[in-house]
């Protein structure tokens, strides 16, 4: 398993670097669209859609919504306030998703049952993720990479601090391995990285301060993005979203944090642009 994880990561990490820094915006958009189409296929599985035709159809639906929303509504450079309204809706939906994590009673869905709520939520979450990633890449590859780095730092800090000091469970019915101590450890690590990066990426003190606050809020959402995918899997007794990435599970198993954090980063950075 470890060997598979290392091999898969050795392919994915250079690919992500190339797409972020050296791929054209069109190539980046297509690549992210392909990944999220696979994510849509996995989301269908996590929502209880059993037939392959149904899953492929759902992936096609979410991909079509991605394209339609991006070319009509989610254009921050053309209609920034309309973009904020659309992406703000995605962020509000994530607040609802977070509430479901703490309300989850641990019960699995009956066999053959489709969770309609999850089906509808995916139709908002996946297009929101695609649009926010494209916006951040268009804004600056450096900004996008910094947002990705903050999420990776939070995951790493949470893992090590959780192993060392973890006592109080964060959401035991959803993910027994995660602790509040892990969350605090991840936030401390993110604070240091965001503070250092703010002096490099932003000028005025107000921008730096707001960015550090935004980084902390974004990674909190990333934690719950991970937990929400765990909730979807537990509803149907699944271990992974799929087995497309050897040793890592599926696309959503690697991108669950991004689906919640990237809309927050995108909205926050548009507000910084428009208001400061």
Print pLDDT tens along the chain (276 aa).
545 666 666 778 888 889 999 988 889 988 999 999 999 999 999 999 989 999 999 999 999 988 887 677 656 566 677 788 888 999 999 999 999 999 998 888 887 789 999 999 999 999 999 989 998 998 899 999 999 999 999 999 998 998 889 889 999 899 888 999 999 999 999 999 999 998 888 778 888 899 999 999 999 999 999 999 999 999 988 888 888 876 667 889 888 999 999 999 999 998 888 776
4 near 246, Cβ under 8 Å?
Answer: yes
Tally of structural domains, the chain: 1
β-strand partners of 179: 169
Q: How far apart are CA 187 and CA 42, in angstroms?
A: 29
The position carrying tokens 């969350």 is 183
Rg over alpha carbons for the chain, rounded to the nearest Å, is 18
Q: What pLDDT, on the 0 to 100 scale, is given for residue 6?
A: 61
Domain holding 227, by residue range, is: 2-275
Residue 168 is classified by DSSP as S
What is the separation, in whole angstroms, between the first and last Cα of the chain? 48
Q: How far apart are CA 244 and CA 150, in angstroms?
A: 25
As to burial, measured by CB atoms within 10 angstroms (0-12 exposed, 13-18 middle, 19+ buried), residue 276 is exposed
Q: Give the list of residues 6+ apart from residue 178 with CB closer than 8 angstroms, or none.
A: 158, 162, 169, 170, 171, 223, 226, 227
Q: What pLDDT, on the 0 to 100 scale, is given for residue 2?
A: 46
Q: How far apart are CA 253 and CA 47, in angstroms?
A: 15
Question: HSE of 163 in the Cβ direction (CA atoms, 13 Å)?
Answer: 5
Phi, psi of 176 (to 5 degrees): -60, -20
Q: What pLDDT, on the 0 to 100 scale, is given for residue 8?
A: 67
Of residues 101, 119, 106, the one with CA closest to residue 50: 119
232 near 46, Cβ under 8 Å?
Answer: yes
């Amino acid at each position: 398993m470890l060997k598979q994880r290392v091999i898969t990561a050795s392919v994915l990490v250079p690919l992500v670097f190339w797409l972020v820094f050296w791929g054209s915006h069109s190539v980046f958009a297509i690549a992210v669209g392909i990944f999220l189409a696979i994510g849509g296929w996995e989301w269908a599985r996590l929502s209880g859609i059993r037939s392959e035709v149904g899953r492929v159809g759902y992936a096609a639906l979410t991909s079509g919504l991605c394209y339609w929303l991006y070319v009509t509504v989610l254009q921050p450079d053309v209609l920034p306030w309309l973009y904020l309204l659309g992406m703000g809706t995605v962020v509000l939906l994530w607040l609802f998703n977070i509430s479901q994590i703490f309300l989850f009673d641990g019960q699995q869905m009956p066999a053959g049952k489709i969770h309609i709520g999850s089906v509808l939520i995916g139709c908002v979450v996946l297009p929101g993720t695609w649009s926010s990633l494209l916006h951040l890449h268009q804004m600056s590859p450096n900004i996008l990479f910094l947002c990705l780095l903050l999420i990776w730092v939070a995951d790493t800090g949470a893992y090590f601090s959780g192993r060392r000091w973890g006592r109080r469970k964060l959401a035991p019915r959803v993910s027994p391995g995660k602790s509040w101590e892990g969350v605090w450890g991840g936030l401390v690590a993110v604070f240091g990285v965001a503070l250092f990066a703010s002096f490099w990426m932003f000028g005025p003190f107000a921008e730096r301060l707001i960015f550090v606050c935004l980084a902390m809020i974004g990674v909190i959402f990333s934690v719950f993005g991970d937990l929400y995918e765990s909730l979807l899997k537990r509803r149907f007794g699944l271990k992974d979203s799929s087995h497309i990435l050897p040793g890592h599970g599926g696309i959503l198993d690697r991108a669950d944090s991004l689906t919640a954090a990237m809309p927050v980063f995108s909205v926050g950075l548009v507000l910084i642009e428009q208001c400061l």
